[in-house]
Structures are given as C-alpha cells and as structure tokens.
Structure 1
Amino acid sequence: MAIAVISDIHGNLGALEAVLADARARGASRVVNLGDILSGPLDAVGTAERLMALGLETIRGNHERQLLDLAREAMNLSDAATDAVLEPRHRDWLAALPVEMWLEPDLYACHGSPRSDLEMLLETVEPQGCRAATGAEVTERLGGIDAALVLCGHSHKQRAVRLEDGRLVVNPGSVGLPAYAEDHPWPHVIESGTSEARYALVERGADGEPDAWQVQLCAVAYDWAAAARRAAEGGREDWARALATGYA
C-alpha cells in the first residue's frame, strides 16, 4: 500500500491539486499531510476548503500554531495575510489538528522534529548557512522515537536518510513553496532549484522484507507561472521569484 506524504503546501492550491492527481496515478491509497498548510499570499481559503473536504490524516506545523496563538500584529507577512481571510470554521479545523501522529505502530509523523515544530530534523542551520544534518544529529533529535519510518517536513528540503540502525527518515519537500530565505536561528536559504511541487511515496518492502520501508521522492509540474503572478499581485515578489525559479 503506497502512502503519499505531503507537506508545506502554504496555500498553493494549484500545486496541491497536481500532487494529489499524481499520487492517485501512482497508486497511492492514502495521503498524509505534515503541516504548514495555508500561510502565504496565494489561496489559503481554497486550500483549507479542499483539505477539510478530503479529511486527510493531517498534523499542524509551526504556521498553524502561529495563526492560532499570535496576534496579527506579531505575525510575519505570510501568516498575517492568511489570518486576514480565514473564517472561524477554518480556525476550528486547524485547532483540532494534532502536533504529531503515529500512523502505524512503526510509522511516526511530525512537522519539524519530535521536540519542536521549528527544528529541522534532516538539516542543520549554522552561522555559515544550512547543511545536511549528520546521522548523529538526526538520532539525537529523534530522542526516544523508535519508529522504522519517520516523516517530517518544515525545511522544504526533499530528502530521505537511512540511519545506521536502519530507521528511514523522509522529508517529502514542499508542495507549495520550492525556495525561501529565513533568518532563524541564523540567515540561510533553502532552494530546490526548480519550480515543481514535491512530495514522497512510501511503502513497505517486497515479500521477504515486510518491515522494510521504501521511499520514492517525486516532483510534479503544475502552472507555477500562474502562482507566481498571484504572489506578485499580492506584493510578494520574494514568493513570485521562488515559485517561478526554485531559487530564493
């Protein structure tokens, strides 16, 4: 049974629809959403409506927490734009989402890391920039999570890492935003280098390896030029550039 893993949609409904269609075509029978769902200048309400109707297994990310907990004047531009258009029923949906989930006895999902929705699990940010985390760093961040497969998002960086003990950690990348610049905890950029929407397919191994999870990292074309135009019309040239090029 193939499971489609999506994350970091950021209100990009066109990218979401393309990913869902691609996952269906590849035989996915289940879709898991790892959070950071709505925030951005694109289509937060349309994305919320679509996902609420689908009823996917979904956890919240840091942007959901920020939308629920912060006053608008304390929010960043993406959250503030989203906060201005959400209705109470959208907020109720976000508030009901868990922060982590055991999807199977050996399959665990979080947004950032098990200990923080702001911590990247597979990347490390240093004063010099962002680099791939070492196996020791990933193991330490996982703490007591002893799952054969761990799903995480947040960084927007599509990556799969198999640890020395055999555990597989998968970040499906971002459905809706292929690049961004950030200053927490130090200035850094994440860039995929192309405009495709990204997700992952995971499934158990073939006969003889019933507990061995395998992953396929997927990239899907969609009308990113239209998304970039919408971002530019909303005054977000940074988003427009990232959506059109995959670079921050």
Structure 2
Amino acid sequence: MRIAVLSDIHGNLAALDAVRADIERRGADLIVDLGDLLSGPLQVAETADRLIALGWPTIAGNHERQVLNDPPERMSESDRHAVAHLRADQREWLRKLPASLRLSDEVLMVHGTPRSDLECFIETIDAAGIRAASAAEAAERLGDTDARLILCGHTHVPRSLRLDDGRLIVNPGSVGLQAYSGEHPHPHRVENHSPHARYAIVERHDDGVWTAELLAVDYDWDAAAALALRNGRPDWARALATGRV
C-alpha cells in the first residue's frame, strides 16, 4: 500500500499541480490531504475547484476552521484573502470536511494532533523557538489512538518520527509555502531553506512496517512569488521564492 500525503497547500495551485504530476510519475494507491488548503494570497477559488474535482480523502486544518468561524477582525490577512475569494459552494465543501479521518485500522489523518489543529505533533514550540520534538513528547500527544501510522501537517516541516513501539508519525511538509513566521504558542520562524513543494509517500511493507519518503518537487515558484507580490504580500513573495522568512 502506497499513500501520497499532501498538506498545507495554501492556495498554491502551481505547486499542487507539480506535486500531482510527480505522484503520477512515481505511482500511489491513494492520495490524501491534511488541510490548510486555501488561505494565502494566491489562487484560492481555483485551488478549491481543483481539490473538489479530485475528491481525495481530505481533512480540515486550522485555517479552514478560522475561515468559516472567526470574525473578520480576528482573521489573519491570509484568511481574509481566502474569505474574499471563496464562493458559497466552496464554503459549503469546506464545512463538510472532517477534523480528522481514520483511513483504516492502522492509519489516522490529523492536521495538528488528535486533540488540536493548532498543536504541533513532531515539533515543539517554546520560548526558544521551534525544534524537533522528542519521541516522549510526540507519544504524549497521541492520546489514546492506537493507529500505527499517524499523518500530520500544520508546521510545514517535512519530518518523520518512529516511536519506541514502532509506530510512525509523518509530516509531509507543505505543498505550498516553505517559510513563515508564527505566534502560537510562542513567536517562531519556520524556514525550509528552499522553495520546492513538499509531500511524502508512505508505504506499508509485507512485514507490516510503514516507512516514509519525504519528497521535494520543482515548480515555478518565481511566478507564485510574483502573484503574492501583486496581491500585496511581500512576506509571502520572499518565502515562496527562497524558502526563507
């Protein structure tokens, strides 16, 4: 069983299409999406239409929740851009997305952790910034789930972590945005140091062990950066073009 895992597209349709082409070349039995689909200064409605047509198993991220529920004065600039460009039918599609999804007895999809779409799973953010989480920290965030493979997103950091009991947690990184500054729960910066679109392929082997391959894909990030700049987001333009804040 080979599953292509996408997360954090953030309306970057060019990156999404490049990842789709790479998946077609490599092959996968299933493609899944871990949320944060649209928010950002890029192609909101066009990306929504593409994802609706594809019909992949998809969950909501924190940005979907925020776009649907937060008052405008509490929204980030990226969420306000999404709200301004979404049609009613696209909003209704977002409302129907689950917060998590159990693909099988073995596989669980979450955006952050099983208990929160804002909590990092295999990273920890503290007053010093963001760092890789320990196995003990990640195991505590699992709660009572018995899944053998846990797929998470949110941080945009491509990484996998195998726990002492053999379970695997995989963050495929972000399809659409390779650097950003965050404030929750402490100020921090994420920088992947290159602009490539990220995703992962996870595979179950004959012995029942899951493994993950983290992948980076070329696309026209300069065009994406130019679009962000035209839409008034020089911060996004730099992040898209360089993978740095």
TM-score band, normalised by the shorter chain? over 0.9
Q: How do residues 223-238 of structure 1 correspond to structure 2 at under 5 angstroms?
A: 223-238=220-235
Partner of 1:216 in structure 2?
Answer: 213
Q: Secondary structure at the match of 2:29?
A: strand
1:57 aligns with 2:57: yes
Q: How do residues 145-224 of structure 1 correspond to structure 2 at under 5 angstroms?
A: 145-205=145-205, 207=206, 209=207, 211-224=208-221
Q: Secondary structure at the match of 1:84?
A: helix
The answer to whether the 8 A contact 1:72-1:83 is kept is no
Partner of 2:84 in structure 1?
Answer: 84
Indicate the percent of aligned positions where both proteins have the same amino acid: 56
The answer to whether the 8 A contact 1:149-1:169 is kept is yes
Residue 127 of structure 1 and its aligned partner are, at CA, apart by 0.6
1:126 aligns with 2:123: no
Residue 166 of structure 1 and its aligned partner are, at CA, apart by 0.2
CA-atom RMSD in angstroms: 0.7
Letter in 2 for 1:130: I
**Please, which moves more after superposition, 70-79 or 17-26?**
70-79
Partner of 2:6 in structure 1?
Answer: 6
Partner of 1:244 in structure 2?
Answer: 241
What is the aligned residue count?
245
Runs (4+) of structure 1 moved beyond 6 Å? none
Gaps of 5+ in 2: none
CA distance in 2 between counterparts of 1:159 and 1:145 reads: 20
Gaps of 5+ in 1: none
CA distance in 1 between counterparts of 2:127 and 2:146 reads: 31
Letter in 2 for 1:41: P
CA distance in 2 between counterparts of 1:198 and 1:139 reads: 25
Q: Secondary structure at the match of 1:46?
A: helix
Q: Secondary structure at the match of 1:32?
A: strand
CA distance in 1 between counterparts of 2:183 and 2:211 reads: 34
Q: Deviations over 1:32-55 (max 9, x none)?
A: 000000000000100000000010
Letter in 2 for 1:240: A
Letter in 2 for 1:10: H
Q: Deviations over 1:74-115 (max 9, x none)?
A: 210000011011111001000000000111110001000000
